[in-house]
Amino acid sequence: MPCTVVTGAFWGDEGKGKIISYLALKDQLDVCVRTGSVNAAHTVWYQGKRYSLHMVPAAFVNGKCRLLIGAGANVHIPQFLKEVEATNVKNRIGIDQQASIIEEKHSIQDKTRAHLKGIGTTGWGVGPAIEERASRTAKLAKDIPELQPYLTDVTKEVNNAIDNGKKVLLEGVQGLMLSLFHGTYPYVTSRDTSASAICSEAGVGPTKVDDVLIVFKAFMTRVGGGPLPGELPREEAIKRRWFEISATGRERRTAPFNFELAKKAVMINSATQAAVTKLDILYPQCKGAKTYDALPGEAKQFINEIEKQVGIPVMLIGTGPEALDIIDRRK
């Protein structure tokens, strides 16, 4: 820090919410800017309670952190207001005036367009909303009466915070393999998901970023259609305890960790460090471990292999669902 970008390596579901909530608490973040759109949620477990966040930044667990939604984001008004209430952040969350709005008509379009049937869209209406923005006909946050109390100039706020040495985190959503440009097109989302795009949507220039933290899960998952190298049969995924249901209620397809895709993600994101989540699912004896020395040999070997193949250090290792179930290897 002071400015770190958190981005996903694969098809989302990597555990970004967990990592961000940990950093918010451990590093006492001052500002967290969420980018992207409502899509699938960031899941945060904190003090025994599960939060599924489509709009509110995962750093909300730190009661002193200023929470922002960037100009490049798309706001689903009912979901935003619902989450603000659930997380009790009304007095410390802001939306950029130029963030665009997802309307009910966009969700209907998302669910009824024939060409999207096999893509695996979440149905929120993100794609149609972004289409309107590109055609210069979108509603913006500044046009919505219910959002007036939250409006701010996020670009100005976040750059001032960085310039004043505050601890700032830019929260990406989804993962690189869902990028409109770099992912498994056409089975992708409607925007770029790389670290560069996260900076752009937040209004932060690349020279102001100190670290790009890429998040890997110990195995790969994706929902919806599209390729998944090494995909396991459903029965095998259940046997390995890799089978999961996403925050949008869909089954996650599973596959073993893919080092070639990991290298590609590190390269495109210019990642400087990595986090690995759900190591305790791959190696159950890791559950609850707080130090690297407490890990079994095969788990250490797996982490070492990731570092060797992708060329950056694994600094954070998730060993359980709670925000603080982390092995922190940073100095």
What is the C-alpha separation between 288 and 323, in angstroms, rounded? 11
42 in catalytic set: yes
182 in catalytic set: no
What is the C-alpha separation between 235 and 225, in angstroms, rounded? 19
What is the C-alpha separation between 228 and 230, in angstroms, rounded? 6
Burial bucket for residue 139 (CB in 10 Å: 0-12, 13-18, 19+): middle
Catalytic annotation, pick one of 27, 30, 42, 106: 42
Would you list the DSSP string of 210-230?
Answer: -EEEEEEESEEEE-SSS--TT
Unique residue bearing structure tokens 């929120």: 124
Contact present, 248 and 40 (Cβ < 8 Å): yes
Would you list the DSSP string of 84-136?
Answer: HHHHT-GGGEEEETT-EE--HHHHHHHHH-GGGTTTT--SSSHHHHHHHHHTT
Active site positions, annotated? 13, 42
